[in-house]
Structure 1
């Protein structure tokens, strides 16, 4: 079961700039080859962007602070407020005519590097709010997520706060939050490319674009 889950996790589209190759022509019994090719692409992707975490360490705290400053300065005074981070994507859907299951291992790799231990601990200490990661992870599959490319340090950190009952990661703050849209501060990161990101808050329609050039992150749109 774990082997199948891992294959499904690593299967998916190549990075957004690439086309999903003829997904409609695949049938269930063709998927072994599809998964093998997807695994090879993903392995190369991880190698090509092996140092991306240090690049994201130059922007993740800034992006976090920017969203809160623009839309939630007053909300921070409410003890019920919590941070909600869109995290790793699980299998999105099943289509009997296609091997593509809606997952995106490249996105999962990048998002695990962006929301790493450094920025999560920074957010916990600075804002004192509960932090929820969106992904629901069955206990038996928790270790499989390390195969995505999460660093050992970050994996150990989120595993420490993993709650088997809810199957989610909750990093506790100074006060008990109240779950609900009215009290959430959501963060959605979209990777246009690994070096160009969109930081978004769907509640307040905040959208900020950053691009990495000449070893620095530049604000493109705010």
Structure 2
């Protein structure tokens, strides 16, 4: 019985050894350089024994002799499955890069304008640019003519701006004005936003420039000084004085600019006052807004900021040498 058991054990070892040695020639070559234990080991744990593994320190599939599949271009698609093995590409394009004819970073298949460089937000098409040089020159000439046609408008506004509080007091008797907020220059938008589907056009600033020209003639230095003296009125207005040379030197007079800078309290605010203010229950703060229908037809809005006072709007027309309601 003992002999039978010993025989079966030896037979089992022989069979196991026979199953492990798949390629005896390769095994023999391995044994010449390494011992049996090393040759039958699997250091990289890829299931391919040392004597058969052409990359014993790097795990790889059996079908590639234990070596990892190469990915020459590093795009994550192994060379054997990559139609462009030396150029990085995309899985959905067989490992090849997608065409971008115009070089704008948007693939031709997704580009509405594949041969013209454009923007992602415009589906690969460029924002159309208009040639506005002639338009701007024409607008500039129109504004210059406007200034010449109205070069004496300041004297016409003088009597109106100096007596501007009278139109509010007619409907609000016994009301004292302690503080006036004055709408002044129109600085326009600080940024531009172009939504999808935007149709470009040449944009004129002439309306804004004409308003700025008229408002600086209406609220001239004498008018502001006179208003501040009326029962000690304090005037507040916005004026970005640092932009004078850049944006407004052809609109606002140097005299007015210097006057406003003298009374500035911050980069954006001007406060004009002659003396310390009195505080009584009958004194209010108002905002005055002047709108020009045309240089000789004006809307003036008085908006009380505190107190029980009526809001007043006046439309005034200059006719036969005087302003009439």
Provide the TM-score with structure 2 as the length reference.
Answer: 0.49
Deviates more, 1:120-129 or 1:151-160: 151-160
Residue 246 of structure 2 is aligned to residue 132 of structure 1:
no
In the alignment, the residues of structure 2 paired with residue 168 and residue 137 of structure 1 have an alpha-carbon distance, to the nearest angstrom, of 8
Q: Which has the larger radius of gyration?
A: 2
**Unaligned 5+ residue runs, structure 1?**
1-25
Once superposed, which parts of structure 1, at least 4 consecutive aligned residues long, lie more than 6 Å away?
none
Residue number in structure 2 paired with 1:214: 320
The number of equivalent residue pairs is 183
In the alignment, the residues of structure 2 paired with residue 177 and residue 145 of structure 1 have an alpha-carbon distance, to the nearest angstrom, of 36
Residue number in structure 2 paired with 1:158: 260
**Does the 8 A contact of 2:157 with 2:218 survive in 1?**
yes
**Unaligned 5+ residue runs, structure 2?**
1-126, 195-199, 305-309
Residue number in structure 2 paired with 1:38: 139
Residue 293 of structure 2 is aligned to residue 192 of structure 1:
yes
CA deviation after TM superposition for structure 1 residue 158, in Å: 1.5
Provide the TM-score with structure 1 as the length reference.
Answer: 0.70
Give the structure, 1 or 2, with the largest relative contact order (CA under 8 Å, sep 6 or more): 1
In the alignment, the residues of structure 1 paired with residue 179 and residue 155 of structure 2 have an alpha-carbon distance, to the nearest angstrom, of 26
1:71-150 alignment to 2 at 5 Å? 71=172, 73-76=174-177, 81-92=178-189, 94-96=192-194, 97-100=200-203, 104-133=208-237, 135-137=238-240, 139=242, 141-143=243-245, 144-148=247-251, 150=252
Higher helix proportion:
1
Report the secondary structure of 1:131's partner residue: strand
In the alignment, the residues of structure 1 paired with residue 295 and residue 151 of structure 2 have an alpha-carbon distance, to the nearest angstrom, of 11
